[in-house]
Each structure stands twice: as structure tokens, then as C-alpha cells.
Amino acid sequence: MIDFLRPRPARTALLAAVLALGLGLAGCAQGTGATSPTASASASASAAPEPAQVDNLDGVSVEGKYGESPTVKFTPFTVADTQSKVLIEGDGPAVTADMTVTVHYQGLNGRTGEVFDASYANGKPTSFQLSGVIPGFSKGLVGKKQGSRVLLAIPGKDGYDSSGGIAQAGIQVGDTLVFVVDIISVPLSGPQGDKVSQPSGQPTVSGAVNDPKISIPSGAAPSQLLVQPLIKGKGDKVAADSTVTVNYRAWLWDGGKQVDDTYAAKTVNDQQVPAAPESGQLSTLITGWQTALKDQTVGSRILIVVPPSQAYPDGDAGLGIPAGATLVYVVDILQVS
């Protein structure tokens, strides 16, 4: 079973060539469902005029509604630095550098005008951690709000120059990449919703929102999985095939020792890990989490007591979890995709 408690690379939708080189989006390789080039982008690379360097995006025309595949027209161009332009302003929370974002997007080559990648064709947005993709994406999207449509132009130095381009996608060293990005969702900063009354005899949670403390009652640990919402969020439900973004903290039932969390920086296997929510596909998590989080809603805070058979029956030395340990979790569901 995959250990959700350990840090891992950002999860992304594509297992094809572009993803392996660091963008983390979907469907770039030929035959993976990319959309057809726009009418203005039909010229071959050999017939295209020499791209002119520009310092703004005024020459790029984008037509279409938020959430729908855009039509993009421009004369071939390059930029020296990453440029961004908000085409439609959303009113949701802002993107930050380390978060996992869910987007629809279309990517075009600024030298040829050809579409090399898009998510609209398969009808499903893509989720990825900004720190795990090309630098231009982070530079262009940080500070933009959920619900926005953003136009990006990313120079080769912030794209694929360090990888030597991507031949199978027609991307050469020095090519500027043009993206239209619809920001579908970003994680909440913490739990949001209605407080839920908690039965007596359960572990109780206190402390600041982003610094939860636990008080574990005396006596033997429960033998069955315990799932207790503490705050009921009003967002989307977690499904069996969802990717969830959460903050969490974990303790041993016996002795109350804290063994892991995402609210504060930590050391795992002698490596320093910064404080940040984690994302993972529900089906890859420990069994107790798969059961506990399914059908819960974004914004919820959940108390979970997990017996060893549904967590780490043999323990985990790296996290300080002994064999046969019952674990107590506080989990804030910040995003689902």
C-alpha cells in the first residue's frame, strides 16, 4: 500500500513524454487526444515567419467562454520572461506557490502556433502541484484567483530548454509556450463549515485551526475504525476515484506521541520537509483513510481513529510507528478533484 504520510512528487494526469519532462499536464504526446491546431496556426514550422520578441500579450487573441476550449490566434512570437494576463477575473481564493491546483488548459507553441497539449478534449480538468511543474506555470499563476481564465507566455528558460525541448511535441530549445488556463479550483486554507457535536468518550481536539492538539481518553483503543466529522464542509464530496488535498496530523493512541503532520515543517528519513498540504489519490491511501474520507465534503475536519489492520500492521520505523499501533488523525479536506 502506498504510504500517504510520506512526501512524494506532485501527482499529475499524464504519463506521456511531456509529463516525464516536468510540465505535469495531460495528453501532449501525439495520439493522446490533443485538440487540432487553430485556423491561424496551420502553417508548418518551416513556413512560419521568424518569431518577434514582445514584452506584452496584446497581440494574442483568445475567444471562448471560461471552462470551454478556446480559440487562440497570434503571429509567432517569443518573450524574454514569463508573461501573464488575466482574461476573465475570478472571485475565489488566490493561487500560492506550493499548492495543488485544478485547471483546464490549452498549450500552443509560440513559434508555430500549433496546439501541442490540451485538457478540454477529454472533458476532465487536470490537477498538479505547482512546485512540481515547469517554472513558468508557477510564475504565471501565483496570485491569480479561482474562477479566472489566464493567458500565459513562457520562454524556453522557464519551460523545456533545460530538457533540450520535447521533439515529439514539436517543442524546440528557445520556443515560447502559450497557455490559456482556466483555474477550476484551489485548496482552502483550512476547514470551513458547520461545527458538529461530538459524542463523549472520543479523542478531543483543541488548539488553533492550523495547530490542532489531541486529548486521548484513557483505556483501550477501539478495535473498529472510528470516523467523526468535527466540522462539516459544504464543498464537493470525495469519491472513490478522487484526488484529495489535505492537511493532517497523526498521533499514536498509546502515549499520544505525534508521529506525522503537514501543518509544520518536519523531518522524514533524515530529510527536511516544509509545511504544506499533501495530495494523493484516495485509492492509494491506507485503507482506513479510503473508508473514512469517501463521501466527506471539502471544508470538513474529520477525526479518524484507525486500527493497525487498516493502517500499518507491521509499523513504520521511519515515522516512529510501532507494529500493532492504533493511530489517531485529524484531517482537514481542502480540495477534491
| Residue 226, pLDDT score | 98
Please give the pLDDT value at position 98.
77
- Across the range 231-236, mean pLDDT stands at 94
Using alpha carbons, select from 68, 17, 81, 77 the residue that is nearest to residue 41.
77
Greater confidence (11 vs 142) lies with: 142
Q: How far apart are CA 85 and CA 150, in angstroms?
A: 6
Q: Do domains 17-185 and 193-336 have the same CATH topology?
A: yes
Query: Each residue of 184-230: pLDDT tens digit?
Result: 999 998 999 999 999 999 999 999 999 999 999 999 999 999 999 99
Q: Indicate the domain borders of the chain.
A: 17-185, 193-336
Interatomic CA distance for residues 200 and 202, integer angstroms: 6
CATH of segment(s) 17-185: 3.10.50.40
Give the pLDDT score at 122: 80
Instruction: State residue 48's pLDDT score.
Output: 56
For 319, phi and psi rounded to 5 degrees?
Answer: -100, 0
Q: Do the Cβ atoms of 7 and 158 come closer than 8 Å?
A: no
The predicted-structure confidence for 1-57, as pLDDT tens digits, reads as follows 223 222 222 222 221 223 323 343 333 332 333 333 343 443 344 455 689 999 999
What's the grid cell of residue 3? 504510504
The CATH number, out of the four listed (3.30.200.20, 3.30.429.10, 3.40.50.720, 3.10.50.40), of the domain defined by the range 193-336: 3.10.50.40
Q: Is 174 helix (H, G, I), strand (E, B) or coil?
A: coil
> What are φ and ψ of residue 51, in 5° steps?
-65, 140
% of the chain with per-residue pLDDT over 90 = 70
Task: Give CA–CA dist 193/196, Å, rounded.
Answer: 9
pTM (2 d.p.): 0.69
- pLDDT tens digits along 242-301: 989 999 999 999 999 999 999 998 776 787 877 888 888 999 999 999 999 999 999 999
Q: Please give the full DSSP string across 220-244, using - where no structure is assigned.
A: PPPSS-EEEEEEEE-SPBP-TT-EE
